[in-house]
Chains A and B, each alone.
Chain A
Amino acid sequence: MNSTTFYMKNDEVGITFFVLTASSLQIIESFFPHPVPGVRLGLANIVSFLAIVYFGIFKAIEVSILRTIISSLFLGTFLSPSFILSFFSAITSTISMWILYNISLNTIFKFSPLGINVFSAVVHNITQLLLVYIFFIQQKNVFLFLPLLLVSAVVTGWLTGSLALEIVKKVGFDNIFLIYEISVLQNKEEKVFNADWLKLILFLIFFVLVFLSKKIHIQASFFIVFFIFYLLQKNDINVFWKNVKNVLWLIIFSFLILLFLHPYGKVFLKWKFLIITFDGINLSFIYNLRILNIVFLSSWLVQQYSIQELNFIIKRIVFFYPSGGRIVSNSLFLLPNFLEDVKSQVKKINFNNPKRIFENIVDIFIKILFQPTGLK
């Protein structure tokens, strides 16, 4: 047996690499188009599973929380609707993974990583739907997507699970593992920012107000004020458009659901069995304006603060959890190089030979997770 020594001076280093891999996968995945709304491959969930296997549940939750924060900071979607969705569903899917994994370790109900990943993907999608229901569209009709999401979760979970299984098979538990150069991660001297807390407080107040108000004229006036303010401050409108594109499926579906599946209230139009009501139109405008207002606020926040400043603020807010702040700042420092590394690895895949693609992906995973190179 190939018995290379396994040592890791500091758990933080390993977690940093896991976080980096997961967030770079999430970033790369976000560049690809999603033909079916809400359906994603979820390659980053493989990393969560591996973190459970090699580090345990608490570190895995840490990885899944930090990766959503880092990828959103990098993409400029921090605190936007898509961030809220991915943040909570990453946590629940990781916990569900851990529960099933523990069951398969300790009882006679043996689930392989395939089953575990399928289950976690299902939990992930159900959580997303529930979050949409709680935060954005308070209509039972959103659960119409449940069958589609369940079936797609089974398919994507099967794929990610088989990848995870192959990786664990190849890496094993006792041979080669984690020899990271710790010197890479030594913290640079940190700049101390004079964080502008007033803006943050203002942001939080408006964030809560936008969530709470359920009147169309309040939401509309918020929207107009934000729009004018956004343009007057000479913020980049392209950032706003980019964030809107991320939640476009949410906007379109909330329109469609409320227009065609809300036959209660004063009737606006009736054709055959289709009933469009004024209430439905009103509600669809409220929900969409709310989503757009949150997008406005988040894209404003991202432009008011640089990534380092946001990182600094996050550190101050989670002062009781210093290792998390360190991991975030280290990861943000290393991410651009790491992303390039992953991209160059992905480009090496030979797509002409379909049988080899799977093995190639497994190799890439092992390489970037356990033998990171090209950093410095």
Chain B
Amino acid sequence: MEVRKNFVYKKTIFDYILIFFLLILASYSFQLLFYSFKNDNYVVEVYQDNKIVYRDFLSKDNLIHLRNAVVEVKNNKVRMKESSCPYKFCVNTGWIDKPYKQIVCVPNKIYVKISGKTTQGVDGVSY
């Protein structure tokens, strides 16, 4: 009987290799998961009165109704859609889509920013 002849009755080196490999996988998966929470995607953060009221990916379209103002997230861009403030600086800022750009509305105490990794490279070159 072939099965009887080939059946492995003792622990082999391959068992230990397999277990070693699986334990490495376990530790590696831990690391992997740890990094997966640090998203490379851009995240929009909206603050009002120094408190965070909204935090989500830039890719997710949304309309955020705040006190005296409306923030719109659309097509990977953010803007202040409406505001009750007198000079409308925030609305006139227009769309922003890069990290560390921001929209500020002083009368309503609103602060919109995009956080995330900046792309490596130069912004512009002058001759």
- By a beta-carbon cutoff of 8 Å, the part of chain A in contact with chain B is 53, 104-106, 109-115, 118-119, 122, 140, 143-144, 146-147, 150-151, 153-154, 158, 165, 168-169, 172-174, 261, 263-267, 270, 275, 277, 279
Contacts and interface: CB of A to CB of B under 8 A. Distances in A.
Given A146-B33, A266-B64, A53 B26 contact: no
B4 interface: yes
A321 B6 CA distance: 33
Given A146-B29, A147-B26, A270 B51 contact: yes
Contacts of B1: 173-174
B85 interface: no
15 contacts: A53-B7, A104-B8, A110-B8, A111-B18, A112-B8, A112-B12, A115-B11, A115-B18, A146-B26, A147-B30, A172-B4, A173-B7, A265-B55, A275-B52, A277-B55
Interface in B1-19: 1-4, 6-12, 14-15, 18-19
Contact of B55 (A111, A119, A147, A275): A275
A117 B11 CA distance: 12
Contacts of A168: 7, 9
B112 to A, nearest CB: 14
Nearest to B16: A115
Nearest to A277: B55
A334 B53 CA distance: 62
Contacts of A115: 11-12, 14-15, 18-19
Given A118-B15, A264-B60, 16 more contacts: A105-B6, A109-B14, A111-B14, A111-B18, A113-B8, A115-B11, A119-B22, A146-B26, A147-B27, A150-B22, A158-B19, A165-B9, A173-B3, A173-B4, A266-B54, A277-B55
Nearest to A172: B4
Given A111-B8, A147-B27, A174-B4, A118 B22 contact: yes
Max chain B C-beta neighbours (<10 A), residue from A118, A154, A168, A277: A154
B5 to A, nearest CB: 9
Given A122-B22, A147-B30, A154-B22, A110 B14 contact: yes
A265 B26 contact: no
A269 to B, nearest CB: 10
A150 B36 contact: no
A114 B22 CA distance: 13
Contact of B9 (A112, A264, A265, A270): A112
B11 to A, nearest CB: 5
Interface string B9-51: 1111011001100110111011001001100000000000001
Nearest to B39: A264
Interface in B49-84: 51-57, 60, 64
Contact of B11 (A104, A112, A147): A112
Nearest to B9: A169
Given A150-B29, A154-B19, A267 B9 contact: no
Contact of A119 (B7, B12, B18, B29): B18
A109 B21 CA distance: 15
A217 to B, nearest CB: 20
Contact of A111 (B12, B33, B51, B57): B12
B29 A105 contact: no
Contacts of A122: 22
A111 B55 CA distance: 50
A119 B18 CA distance: 8
